[in-house]
Amino acid sequence: MSTEQGDESGVAPYGAAVREHAAATLPLHTTTGHGDVGEEHISPLQHSRVGRANQRYDGATRLLACVVVVRPAPDAGSAVSTPSSRQVLLISSSKHPDEWILPKGGWEDDESIEECAHREAEEEAGVTGSIVSDLGQLDFATHKGSPCRLYGFVLQCERQYAHWAESSRRRKWVSFEEAHTFLQKRSELLHMLRRAQQADGADEA
Distance between start and end Cα atoms, the chain: 37
With beta carbons less than 8 A apart as the criterion, state whether 68 and 196 touch.
yes
d(CA 10, CA 23): 22
**pLDDT mean by block of 10 residues, the chain; 205 residues:** 35 36 31 44 58 88 98 72 84 95 97 98 96 98 96 97 92 97 97 94 47
d(CA 29, CA 191): 36
pTM for this model (two decimals)? 0.74
Domain locations along the chain: 14-199
Over the stretch 52-108, which tens digit does the pLDDT of each residue have? 778 999 999 999 999 999 999 887 665 556 667 899 999 999 999 999 999 999 999
With beta carbons less than 8 A apart as the criterion, state whether 108 and 56 touch.
yes
Helices assigned H by DSSP within the chain: 14-20, 113-120, 176-182, 187-199
d(CA 176, CA 192): 12
**Half-sphere exposure (Cβ direction) of 40: Cα atoms closer than 13 Å:** 19
Domain covering 14-199 assigned CATH 3.90.79.10 in the classification: yes
